[in-house]
Amino acid sequence: MLLELRIRNFAIIDQAALEFGPGLNVLSGETGAGKTIVMSALGLLLGMRASPEMVRADRKEAVVEGLFAVEGEDLPADLFPGSATAPRELIVKRVVSEAGRSRVLLNDEMATVQTLSRIGSALVEVYGQHEQQSLLRTENHLTILDRFAALEPQLAAYRGAYARARELTARLADLDRRARDRERRLEMARFELGELERARLDPGEERDLAAQRTILANAARLMGAVEAAEQMLMDQDGAAADLIGRAQTALGEAAALDPKLAQSLELIGSARVALEEAVHALRGYRERIEADPGRLEQIDNRLQDIARLKRKYGGSIEQALAAMERLRTEVGELEDVEESASEIRAELAAAAAQAAALARQLSHSRAGAAAALKHQMQAELKTLGMRNAVFEPRLTAFTGESGLLCDGIRLGPEGIDQGEFHIAPNLGQPAMALAKIASGGELSRVMLALKRLEAQRRGVSTMIFDEVDAGIGGAIAEVVGRKLKELSRFHQILCITHLPQIASFADRHFRVEKEERRGATTSRVTELDKPQRVEELARMLGGAEISDRFRRAAKELLERAQ
């Protein structure tokens, strides 16, 4: 149950604090006064998406807080991992920045909007005008019936089996398509696989071949450089080896006279040894290197083949090797396609049979639920002033083209059924499709009756009716008010209304009004005492000009409601 709602810097509301209680809580006010803004603020606490427009102009953030009593509520245990049970009181806080980002706090602990939405749906049921319009879409009728009868687990089991059958159907269709193209594709895959296997690609080969090609293509230049170096080092007059030898001889004589020259003499000796080793290595290199046009042509051809395969199979040797593995897998699958198709057909037959069995069970449950809904809805509508109304949830076979055919029946996403509500609002009138004949007032009462039955089954503690009075007035408005009052014996009711007949039944009555101060427009919410309620009901009855006649009528409404 919602005990308190606090709003700050939200749209045109500067600050507001509303203390709700059990029973019927009514909000009224002129059009545009801000009643919808209060509902939007409450919607934030139930997981509604935040937006920058929610923040009051010239403010940095908007804050909405709600205090809920949750003792005895059926909240999912995983929402409170730090506690064995749900808390008895829950403070929900939503902060929206001027950029539209929002934070969620549950008892001062950070939480996600998804968690908030799950908690909100367990605590509060909201009925707005858009839900009334949803009754005009026949595709919603089966969902309403399933929800009324708590058939969601059965429906979920069926949907799982149906999804599996759909998946297998798609796989079989793909295999059949591939089988028609099998020979051509298998021939191509085998050719490409053979091409790659014969190529024996290696990730480092291209680099090694490029290095070899550089040497072979420049063999003459390399030979000339080696021969020139040999001559300058040893094989010509004045070569480096001769000069070092003469230096070694001259310094050897001097070192005999002064031992301090021995280290220099030793270094010159080491240089001569290193020079001789270099000359030896150059001669070995010269004997090995040779211009080999045939080998150069082989390398060029191999590099061209590698470049072609890279372009064809992904741009690199690694990609080409990966393509080879994919082709091996594809060839194996194509060669075994008939065996795979046979296995999938067997799996599909079993999955379709399971889905069909679950669909029949679901349809049987729906038939019983439709009879119960008919009986209970007619009783509810009778209390709402439709004394002779006939309400019929009709089930017909699913005929959608997108379904699956199994054992002579067509399966759809929701089973083998299509559902549509029919109604005969008046005595002697044949029942016809609700979406075609129901007036706005009749739709309001049908939805109110459905919500009443759903609330009984779900056990939700708080129900919010946002302008449930659309399309009704007069005596019917009083009937609806009385029904809301009766409903408030079992659930906390929050109701936004324009009708005094409904507002007169309130246990707590709040007025939302707009005022201009200091060049700014704000909305404020006030809980009314009895004299103020008389004035508000008189305003709702007579408009801007409130006379004693309307005040007397307002008092009479209050007395009759009590």
* Mean pLDDT (whole number) for 38-55: 88
Rounded distance, CA 13 to CA 63, Å? Answer: 11
Q: Is 536 exposed, middle or buried (0-12, 13-18, 19+ CB in 10 A)?
A: buried
- Output Rg (C-alpha) for the chain, integer angstroms: 44
Own/partner contacts of 528-534, CB < 8 Å, gap of 24 or more, are: 530/558, 533/503, 533/506, 533/509, 533/558, 534/558
Rounded distance, CA 204 to CA 190, Å? Answer: 26
Q: How confident is the model at residue 80 (pLDDT cuts 50, 70, 90)?
A: low
* Mean pLDDT (whole number) for 367-395: 91
Q: Hey, what are 158's tokens?
A: 């069926």
> Is 494 a residue whose pLDDT tops 60?
yes
Q: Which strands sit side by side in the sheet containing 417-424, from one edge to the other?
A: 390-397, 417-424, 432-433
Output the pLDDT for position 71.
Answer: 67
Mean model confidence pLDDT for the chain:
84
User: What global pTM score does this model have?
Assistant: 0.59
Output the pLDDT for position 221.
Answer: 77
Place of tokens 């759903």: 454
Highest mean pLDDT among 24-33, 83-92, 173-182: 24-33
pLDDT, one tens digit per residue, over 129-138 is: 666 667 788 8
> Is 209 a residue whose pLDDT tops 90?
no
Output the pLDDT for position 374.
Answer: 95
The region of weakest confidence among 72-76, 184-188, 237-241, 273-277 is 72-76
Nearest of 522, 514, 523, 451 to residue 483 by alpha carbon: 451
Output the pLDDT for position 72.
Answer: 57
* Mean pLDDT (whole number) for 445-459: 76
* Mean pLDDT (whole number) for 406-414: 85
Give the number of C-alpha atoms closer than 13 A to the C-alpha of residue 370, restricted to the C-beta side: 20
Output the pLDDT for position 77.
Answer: 61
Q: How confident is the model at residue 470 (pLDDT cuts 50, 70, 90)?
A: low
* Mean pLDDT (whole number) for 288-302: 75
Q: Hey, what are 53's tokens?
A: 């427009």
| Cα distances (angstroms) measured from residue 295 to each of 32, 216, 309, 360 | 91, 8, 21, 77
Helix/strand/coil for 110: strand
Q: Which domains does the chain have, with CATH numbers?
A: 2-135+441-528 (3.40.50.300), 186-334 (no CATH)
